[in-house]
A and B are shown apart, each in its own frame.
Chain A
Amino acid sequence: MQLSDTPEPARADAEPPATPPTPIASPSPLRRKLAAAAFLLLGVPALASADPMPSSPSWQLDATGLLYGERQRTSVIEPTARLTRLFANGQALSGQITLDAITGASPTGAVPSGQPLTTTTASGMVTTLPAGQVPTKKFNDLRGASDLSWDLPVGTLFKATTGAHYSREKDYQSVGASESFSLDVLRRLATITIGGGVNRDGVFPRGGTPVPLSDGTQVLTTGTDRKDVTTGLIGLSRVLTRRWLMGLSMTRTLETGYLTEPYKVISIVDSTDTAVDQRTENRPARHDRRAALASSVYHLAKDVIYVEYRYYWDDWGIRSHTADAKYRLELPDDAYLLPHVRYYTQSAASFYRPSLPQGDPLPTFASADYRIGDLSGVTIGATYGFKVPGSRGEWNVRVEYLRQWGPAGSFAGTGTPGGDDGGGGERATRAAAVALPSSKFGAFTSLDIGTIVVGYSIPF
């Protein structure tokens, strides 16, 4: 399963979907306190989710458009629309549609060559790569996803959230469901959340599933490989002061089945570090992931500071740290500016190999995908939110820049936010004519990514 497609997943800090703006327009401190007390008397949860329930059923539309671009690599256009029905009793039912249109070139995982590199696909198509370039594969894909979510309050302290998901792309299908429960305790100063989700996914690589660690010309099956994902969550959020909210949550995700990237390859290198051949990759059929997240939201006089830290560890040997901070600067006329900075660093999986030495016995598992290698990344950007006078709708525009880097030669593989990279073609096989020592690939490699998101929300 992955948690990346639902606009408002069941978080440990579970909150109802976005609702119409609160009726507290330009309140004085006394009015705001009176309004908060009124919400309490009405039984509205006051822990960071105190949007008043609508007096009659209403609708909310949220839409975003993502433009994603990697330098000289992949580009993605991803429009998303979500429609939410808000009921007078606090229930909320939402449906969402997402499309991903992905085009570009994705590195195969092989190291660059000092001479023109000729490759032949399983279907016999021959291509030649100029000397010194990272081997890539052109591809395109279109992914469609639909999500449903239903919030059901029971009494004033308990809420159940049910979710369902379906998505399909050229070589991947996902069907999933989730359920979470949240309970307000300590006079609504704290919320406890538990939840779980399951996905039954299918992988059907173009050209068939390759034999692991082979030259790629032989396939195991042309049918569907199964991939099952189960996730559990436990979380706690707590009001610490009138201005400060803190949360802790943990998730455990168990993936089983076909977890290999079918289009990725690993170069076989000789004693001079020169690529002489390549093999398909192979990953374990089980992946046990755990993550712990600490979150803080602090209200200054007007502005708000958001800080998060996540520690992640899994049985593949990957450990990562993620630190994320945002500052919401309030501007006149209901506008705001939200600068954002994020830092990420991870250690490599135990079976990560940028290349395999010629003549050595092949390991049981190996992958040259840089995303499971030693990797760091920084994101900087900002969101500008504003309202058009006379309209109830709210716009926001976000521009961000992400740079990822790793050790020399590690960026021989990539992914895209839309679909399975390389999904539009067949893996390249039978490398020939290679000579460049990988040390000439550079002592430092990186990937530059730019994103623009435009969003619009309106209650009606």
Chain B
Amino acid sequence: MKPLLFVLALTAAALLSSCAATAVKPWDRDLLAEKKMRFNAYPMIGAVDEHIYFSKEGSTGGASVAGGGCGCN
């Protein structure tokens, strides 16, 4: 998985570089401030989905650390 980690590290570095987005001024963040502009804009339904997929698939993770165990998998 070293190539994947390298790509992720490179992408993260690019995102953190100041040249990735310099044109978004504070007064241009009106759209970003909307509630629907969140990664997890529908958290209650998102939690239901995580529970379903965790119990029906072999994979989990990627987005969160919180939560509780379940005997469903």
Contact = CB atoms under 8 A, between A and B. Distances in A.
A237 B39 contact: yes
Best-surrounded residue of B16, B39, B51, B69 (most CB of chain A within 10 A): B69
Nearest to A313: B1
B49 to A, nearest CB: 9
A145 B67 CA distance: 10
B39 A48 contact: yes
Contacts of A189: 21, 24
Interface of B, helix, strand, loop or mixed by DSSP: loop
A353 interface: no
A331 B38 CA distance: 19
A11 B43 CA distance: 11
A297 B39 contact: yes
Contacts of A135: none
Nearest to B26: A40
Contacts of A404: 56
B68 A320 contact: no
Given A165-B66, A242-B24, A377-B57, A290 B1 contact: yes
A389 interface: no
* 4 pairs of A and B residues whose beta carbons are closest in the complex: A174-B69, A172-B71, A420-B71, A9-B64
25 contacts: A2-B54, A2-B67, A3-B65, A4-B51, A5-B67, A11-B39, A18-B43, A39-B33, A40-B26, A46-B29, A47-B32, A48-B32, A51-B33, A63-B44, A185-B16, A195-B65, A197-B66, A201-B69, A236-B12, A240-B24, A241-B21, A291-B62, A297-B38, A299-B37, A402-B52
Interface of A: 1-13, 15, 17-18, 21-22, 24, 27, 29, 32-37, 39-40, 46-51, 62-64, 66, 68, 78, 80, 82, 143, 145, 147, 149, 161, 163, 165-167, 169, 171-172, 174, 176, 178, 180, 185-190, 195-197, 199, 201, 203, 227, 229, 231-233, 236-243, 245-253, 289-295, 297, 299, 304, 306, 310-314, 316, 318, 320, 322, 328, 336, 338, 344, 346, 349, 371-372, 375, 377, 383, 396, 398, 402, 404, 414-421, 423, 449, 451, 453, 455, 457
